[in-house]
Amino acid sequence: MDVLYGLHPVEEALRAGTRPLDHLSVAREREARRDPRIDAVLELARAKGIRVSTEPRDQLTRHCKTDAHQGIVAFVRERKFLALEDLLNAPTGPSGSKFLLALDGVEDPHNLGALLRSADGSGIDGVVLPERRSAPLSAVTAKSSAGASEHVRIAQVVNITRALEAMKKNHIWIVGLDERGTPDYTDFDFRQDICLVLGSEGSGLHDLVKRTCDHLLRIPMAGSVSSLNVSVAGAVVMYEAMRQRRNPSTQPAAPESKPPKPRKGLGS
Residue 260 lies in a domain: no
Alpha-carbon distance 187 to 76, whole Å? Answer: 43
The reply to whether 149 and 185 lie within a common domain is yes
Alpha-carbon distance 93 to 108, whole Å? Answer: 29
Residue 213 lies in a domain: yes
Alpha-carbon distance 17 to 27, whole Å? Answer: 23
Residue 145, classified by CB atoms within 10 Å of its CB into exposed (0-12), middle (13-18) or buried (19+), is buried
The reply to whether 205 and 242 lie within a common domain is yes
What does the chain come to in residues? 268
String of b and e for 158-187 (b: at least 16 CB within 10 Å)? eebbebbebbbebebbbbbbbeebebbbbb
The reply to whether 88 and 51 lie within a common domain is no
The reply to whether 50 and 96 lie within a common domain is no
Q: Which residues pair with 218 in a beta bridge?
A: 184
CB 63 within 8 A of CB 73: yes
Closest CA to 88 of 183, 170, 1: 170
How many domains are contained in the chain? 2
- Count of C-beta atoms within a 10 Å radius of residue 220: 9
The reply to whether 137 and 50 lie within a common domain is no
Residue 231 lies in a domain: yes
What is the residue range of 171's domain? 84-246
User: Which CATH number covers residue 129?
Assistant: 3.40.1280.10
The reply to whether 58 and 180 lie within a common domain is no
Alpha-carbon distance 116 to 135, whole Å? Answer: 12
The reply to whether 161 and 181 lie within a common domain is yes
List Cα–Cα distances, 26 to 9, 51, 52, 72, 79, in angstroms.
Answer: 14, 11, 8, 4, 22
Residue 254 lies in a domain: no
The reply to whether 187 and 132 lie within a common domain is yes
- What does R_g of the chain's alpha carbons equal in angstroms? 20
- pLDDT at position 214 is 97
Name the amino acid, one letter, at 267.
Answer: G
* φ, ψ of residue 89 in degrees (nearest 5): -90, -5
Concatenating the DSSP letter of every residue in 183-228 gives SBGGGS--SSSEEEEEEBTTTBS-HHHHHH-SEEEB----SSSS--
**pLDDT tens track for 148-183:** 999 999 999 999 999 999 999 999 999 999 988 999
The reply to whether 23 and 146 lie within a common domain is no
The reply to whether 59 and 128 lie within a common domain is no
Residue partners of 190: CB distance under 8 A and separation at least 6: 99, 240, 241, 244, 245
Separation of CA 235 from chain center: 10
Separation of CA 217 from chain center: 19
Q: What is the pLDDT along the chain (268 residues), one digit of tens a residue?
A: 899 999 999 999 999 988 889 999 999 876 546 788 899 999 999 999 999 999 999 999 999 999 999 999 999 998 899 999 999 999 887 888 999 999 999 999 999 999 999 999 999 999 999 999 899 999 999 999 999 999 999 999 999 999 999 999 999 999 999 988 999 999 999 999 999 999 998 889 999 999 999 999 999 999 888 788 999 999 999 999 999 998 876 655 544 434 444 444 333 3
CB 5 within 8 A of CB 145: no
The reply to whether 66 and 88 lie within a common domain is no
